[in-house]
Amino acid sequence: MATATTTPSHEAFERTTSTWGTITLSMGLVIATSMPFLLWMFSDLDITWAQIGVAFLAVFAVYGAFYVIEPLTYFPILGPAGMYQAFMIGNVANKLLPAAIVAQSTIGVKPGTRKSEYVATAAICGAAVVHVVSMLLFVGLLGTWLVSITPDSITEVARIYILPAILGGVTVQLIGTLKQFKGTIIALGVAAVIILVAVPLLPVISPGGTAIAVLLTIVLTWVLRDRHTRPTDPQNMTSIN
């Protein structure tokens, strides 16, 4: 069976992605974290290092697990370039990840291949452009007017159901694309146990329930995997020329 070879064009793509991805994410980190420190240094706010440390630990205790779980979960679908884009732009789970999954499914490529990486990168670019244009139009120009004419009942229903509707559709799309019956059953089973059993019995784990479910799903899927599964079709592993 032929093995995939790394072409010069793909090497250049990965090299450029790693270089500029690191630079842009580092710039984003500095910009995102500079404002609180600027306020602390140049304003009259009485904030101590101890208070900053306590605030950081409070946030880390709730979201710290996601710092590890999210990259592990998103990487097979988005690839290196998509990961740099996604974590710079934000709204990964409810906007960029669905865009990448739908694009990959439409073209017919499997997550984890080079083609899927290129497709995810293009899909994220498209999603970002649509998002910015929509924000300028429906929020910047028409935001106040649209809010004033929208009934409260519709606003309330949208706030409650729109995110589950998006993620539910993406879940079905992903299941249909990957066609991994065993992994799907494991994921649904673990999620049901965590949400319906573990969290009610131990409410203290509620903030990390999603992270626990993802981690358990990864471990169980790995342990119970079919060790005789054939490798991915090499035709999907080749780069786009």
Tens of pLDDT along the chain (241 residues) come to 445 555 568 788 888 888 999 999 999 889 888 887 888 888 877 777 888 788 888 787 767 777 877 888 888 889 889 999 999 888 888 788 888 988 888 888 888 888 888 999 999 999 999 988 988 888 888 877 877 888 877 877 777 887 787 777 777 777 776 677 888 888 889 989 988 998 888 888 777 787 788 888 888 888 887 776 554 444 444 444 4
Q: Residue 224: which residues within 8 A CB-CB, separation 6 or more? A: 182, 186
**First and final CA of the chain: distance in angstroms?**
21
How much is the pLDDT for 230?
Answer: 53
Spell out the domain ranges in the chain: 8-173, 180-229
Pair of tokens at residue 219? 């471990």
